[in-house]
Each structure stands twice: as structure tokens, then as C-alpha cells.
Amino acid sequence: MLGYTYQDNLVLIGTKSGTTRTSVALTNAYDVANKTKIFETGGISKLNFSILYTTGAGETDNSIELRIETSSDRINFYQILNESVSAGTSTLTLREFTFVGAAAATVYSPSLPLDVQDKYMRISVKESGVVTNAGTIYIEATLSGSK
């Protein structure tokens, strides 16, 4: 069993007042101001992104895409990687997390746990497949470690 001396929740995208969570409208591009957040992770071992994704009315099979980057200096960010191994050779590709919302006007609540290795992280999110009605998103992180 892991025992963390520090655990805290941090709202990254959207807002929260008491127990009321307010989402923001999604766009089809990364690095949009209210859908990108840099936050400190120094002293943290694990984090979990708790996501509320609501698909737009009349929209089906739309997806949210999350790009996670890390930094030791809050200036230079590096996108985390995927590794696939075949015949002893590791192939690295830039990692992007995609979640598909199959039904229209539906709230989905995926959870994404990650290990932490750098002092800062940046998360950015976008939506793909929208015809006319963009969805909304709220993301909160639970940070666990010995900060």
C-alpha cells in the first residue's frame, strides 16, 4: 500500500464552487487559453485526471483529445511518449489520449491516472468530429506524493 504525505485536488479546466463544477466549451484546437493549463507537479508521484465530457446535442462519435507535456523549467515542454516494442526494437511516438463519446448530449466521466517525473505539467484538450454543436469539458487533477 502506498502512503502519500500529500494529496490535493486541483481544478485545471473549468471552474468549481463548492461541489458545483462548471465546464467550458470545447474547440478543435490545442493551446486555447481556457483549455490549456500549466501546473506544478514537483514532489508528486502520481496524479489522476478526473474528466467530465459532455457531447454536444445531435453529435455522435465525437472525441476529446488530451496532450500531456512535462517540463523541468516551466519554459521548455516535452510531450510524453508511447513505446511499442517489436523484435527487441522500441519505437517511440508522441502520445495523445483520445476518448470517444458515442452518444449525443451525454455526460462521460473518464479517469486517467499517470505517473509523474518532472516539476511541471501542461495539459491541453481539443474536440474532434464536431459537425455543429461543440461539447464541454471539466478536468480536475488529484495529486499524490510527498510534496
Q: What topology does CATH give the domain 6-145? A: Jelly Rolls (2.60.120)
Residue with C-alpha cell 502520445?
A: 95
Distance CA 59, CA 131 (A): 7
Q: Domain-by-domain residue ranges, the chain? A: 6-145
Residues 6+ apart with CB under 8 A from 59: 101, 104, 105, 129, 130, 131, 132, 133, 135
Nearest partner of 117 among 44, 54, 66, judged by Cα = 44
Residue 41 backbone zone (phi > 0: left; psi -120 to 50: alpha; other: beta): alpha
Distance CA 60, CA 54 (A): 11
What string of pLDDT tens digits covers the 147 residues of the chain?
A: 467 888 999 999 999 999 999 999 999 999 999 999 999 999 999 999 999 999 999 999 999 999 999 999 999 999 999 999 999 999 999 999 999 999 999 999 999 999 999 999 999 999 999 999 999 999 999 999 987
**Model pTM score:** 0.92
22's grid cell: 462548471
87's grid cell: 523484435
